[in-house]
Structure 1
């Protein structure tokens, strides 16, 4: 119902009703403030929970013994350039060792000396084609590894012959090469022609091939002979022996280690050495990552707990605690993380292996200390860091578990509070709307009553005035 300010009474009824509603809406305002605070808490707890879950995941990985067994392989040779950090010796730009190595799961630390005596290659041959063909669609038989494959060309033209040999499954790739036509004495006539070059698609002696036409082998001009790779293990020792491979890769030459040869070891050159060592860079990254996750969680808690200083309405100093100030669950989590990250493992402090807790309650990673500890006793470092990581993984998991984690439950509780406050605020909206309607009806009725009273007063005044006798002079 629309309210018209007191036409009869002269009262500002609209402003009066607004003041009364504002007074009664104080409780709703308090509820809205509580909802805003609870919503901010939900957002803050969710952000923290995400970071704690990341810590739990990284720590769980770092707690696995296999994680600390990562190894790296390098091939070196006295007299060749040393590989730059982060490169593989033997690769382009990383020295001329003539071989590279890669590690797989289960690779073990060890050393192997060897020489590369041959690098596998595929056969490449020039085919002497007949001057004429008995058929307009000539056929050829390629024999490779005891298996025969027949190819038939659409015509005797060089392009069609190339297409026929390049069909899937032939085991060769063909290309036409322009060459000079020679006379009977081997001199160039000035004319050119095309010869067919066939190259095997696979390396190794077992993949050598011959080509026949009309039952007769064609003459093949050798460009490259199919051959296996070969390495000599333990060269110069009584245990020296040769290992061959149809490709350039020797799989499992050591446990979990594959070797790829790229060049023959020069005569008189020193043998190559394959070293499989602990991957210190990977271990360093793992330890540094653990500290980074620790720091992220503690910084998140610290920034949202830290008090801020402002000026009160009376000019005094106003100190306001962070949103996590007084939150028991967050405080306990902070204390547990600090304790689990700094307690000794087997009598060794984490600070002795590079995880340092400062006086300000923050963790830092001391790479120099870590590297020195790894050089002195890598097994001890791994044991300490696995212990620290296992404790942190358990603590972080207990807080961030998506079902039973303490932070997760806190988020759920705060979300319930937000919903409850929202419902109560909505109830107040209805209550205040009803109160406003009631006040509007009351003041409208007041104006109507006053209007009636004024009409009656006017009538009585007129009546009395007309009923009074006039006085003659």
Structure 2
């Protein structure tokens, strides 16, 4: 372990002296470190802004697509008929009478204790015959084999009492996995070849068996009671082709007609406009907060103002101006404020839902066109700013990251340089102390010799 002997000969505090000299020598490196810190802070702020602009772009691009604002809602006069409007829906109404609900098929076998040997089952349905081989004649094995097959049918073993000998017997219940007329099926004891030859036994029509629920489509009547009456069927209880863009789900039959009404959904359109304004304000907020000065406490206890990361940043200021212009410039001579989108004194945008919906009710096509124009303009600006390859902010981030890498390399080089300089200083001062120590020793020896000579001369 090294021992530090400060100023044994010189009386100097060499450790403090070297530390002071090294502090001076480290000034260039400290400037580099400060630059790394400030550039890293800039990168973090730019990344945050880039993310907010990208999110704004997603909303703007979605709203700018053709038909994106043609939003409709559906209502029904009967709770047993639910209607939902989606893309492609248009205004109007339709009356339907629900004649039947879709259902799957369920059938049960006669009571049995085991499946006849060989344990082969063939299920014939809409997709053709599916031949199934069970591991054994055990009803549990038959159930397992049916449920693992591609026949689209499930099997369940149900207790059915005891036979004449007191042994437990069971029925196998078979159910189609889907509803609709095409879900009908037959279950046979035997192979597919036996079925084709007519020698297989139909398990569901044998004595003691029964089909307890018949597979059927749901059906509704349109214009019931008129010469134009028409029946529409569906394999499920949901109809997707009654009206463009409208899904209708039925849950009970009826004799009276149910009225389905499709109308423009002004609330949904307003919600999209509001979301776009919120995203715009989030971008403005990030820029404003990162541009503002803040009070900081210095090392000596005094305070001073520190400029924000974006203060004086021409790139950020240019993007801020472009986004604001895209959102607030007139459309065909009309200010967005006519539709409830207005600029405030503090550089943000407000959205007046009531004013927007009133304008939408008065002229939906004009308002939708205006909102799409704003969205298209904003989307174009977000691409300029945050495109992952060519965006202004993206390129700034990439450039700053390269600068930080280079600066860190320079800091590391200074570490080596400063370590070498400190080692040199330590050797220099150590050598000086040794030299001074030698000189003191020589001085003491000379003094002793002179003293001896002086004593000898006096004695003679």
TM-score interval, normalised by the smaller of the two chains: 0.7 to 0.9
Question: In the alignment, is residue 61 of structure 1 matched against residue 65 of structure 2?
Answer: no
Q: Give per-residue Cα distances to partners, 1:210-252, cap 9 Å, x unaligned.
A: 8999889646778555554332212344423333445434341
Q: Distance in 2 between matches of 1:164 and 1:18?
A: 84
Matching residue of 2:100: 118
Q: Give per-residue Cα distances to partners, 1:177-213, cap 9 Å, x unaligned.
A: 76999xxxxxxxxxx9988877666655676678999
Q: Distance in 1 between matches of 2:12 and 2:137?
A: 114
Task: Measure how far apart 1:277 and its partner are.
Answer: 3.1
Q: Distance in 1 between matches of 2:172 and 2:441?
A: 124
Question: In the alignment, is residue 290 of structure 1 matched against residue 276 of structure 2?
Answer: yes
Task: Measure how far apart 1:285 and its partner are.
Answer: 3.1
Matching residue of 2:218: 229
Cα pair 2:180 2:218 within 8 Å, conserved? yes
Matching residue of 1:407: 393
1:250 to 239, 243, 259: 239
Q: Give per-residue Cα distances to partners, 1:80-122, cap 9 Å, x unaligned.
A: 5xxxxxxxxxxxxxx2xx3233456544443222212233445
Listed as ranges, the matches of 1:262-273 within 5 Å are: 262-266=251-255, 269=256, 271-273=257-259
Matching residue of 1:186: none
Matching residue of 1:375: 361
Q: Distance in 2 between matches of 1:464 and 1:47?
A: 82
Task: Measure how far apart 1:361 and its partner are.
Answer: 0.9
Matching residue of 2:53: 52
What is the total number of aligned residue pairs between the two structures? 439
Q: Distance in 1 between matches of 2:131 and 2:19?
A: 100
SS of 2:263's equivalent in the other structure is strand
TM-score, normalised via structure 1 length? 0.75
Task: Measure how far apart 1:154 and its partner are.
Answer: 11
Moved more, 111-120 or 47-56: 111-120
Matching residue of 1:461: 447
Q: Distance in 1 between matches of 2:320 and 2:56?
A: 13
User: Which runs of 5 or more structure 1 residues have no equivalent in the other structure?
Assistant: 81-94, 182-191
Q: Distance in 2 between matches of 1:144 and 1:455?
A: 115
User: What root-mean-square deviation, in Å, do the aligned CA atoms of Structure 1 and Structure 2 show?
Assistant: 4.4
Flag the 1:59–1:148 CA change in 2: closer, same or farther, 3 A.
Answer: closer
Moved more, 313-322 or 30-39: 313-322
Task: Measure how far apart 1:64 and its partner are.
Answer: 1.0
Task: Measure how far apart 1:325 and its partner are.
Answer: 0.9
Flag the 1:173–1:453 CA change in 2: closer, same or farther, 3 A.
Answer: closer
Task: Measure how far apart 1:157 and its partner are.
Answer: 10
Q: Give per-residue Cα distances to partners, 1:145-183, cap 9 Å, x unaligned.
A: 8988899999999989989998954968676576999xx
TM-score, normalised via structure 2 length? 0.77
Flag the 1:66–1:16 CA change in 2: closer, same or farther, 3 A.
Answer: same
SS of 1:69's equivalent in the other structure is coil
Matching residue of 2:29: 28
SS of 1:425's equivalent in the other structure is helix
Q: Distance in 1 between matches of 2:130 and 2:419?
A: 92
Q: Distance in 2 between matches of 1:152 and 1:34?
A: 76
Question: In the alignment, is residue 351 of structure 1 matched against residue 337 of structure 2?
Answer: yes
Question: In the alignment, is residue 13 of structure 1 matched against residue 14 of structure 2?
Answer: yes
Flag the 1:467–1:113 CA change in 2: closer, same or farther, 3 A.
Answer: same
Task: Measure how far apart 1:460 and its partner are.
Answer: 3.5
SS of 2:69's equivalent in the other structure is helix
Q: Distance in 2 between matches of 1:386 and 1:242?
A: 40
Flag the 1:201–1:441 CA change in 2: closer, same or farther, 3 A.
Answer: closer
Moved more, 388-397 or 302-311: 302-311
Q: Give per-residue Cα distances to partners, 1:400-445, cap 9 Å, x unaligned.
A: 1222211112212222332333233333333333332333333333
Cα pair 1:3 1:444 within 8 Å, conserved? no
1:99 to 64, 81, 84: 81
Question: In the alignment, is residue 384 of structure 1 matched against residue 385 of structure 2?
Answer: no
Flag the 1:348–1:456 CA change in 2: closer, same or farther, 3 A.
Answer: same
Q: Distance in 2 between matches of 1:342 and 1:128?
A: 77
Moved more, 373-382 or 98-107: 98-107
Q: Distance in 1 between matches of 2:354 and 2:298?
A: 49
Flag the 1:300–1:136 CA change in 2: closer, same or farther, 3 A.
Answer: closer
Q: Distance in 2 between matches of 1:434 and 1:197?
A: 88
User: Which runs of 5 or more structure 2 residues have no equivalent in the other structure?
Assistant: 189-198
Flag the 1:159–1:24 CA change in 2: closer, same or farther, 3 A.
Answer: closer
Q: Distance in 1 between matches of 2:171 and 2:286?
A: 74
SS of 1:231's equivalent in the other structure is strand
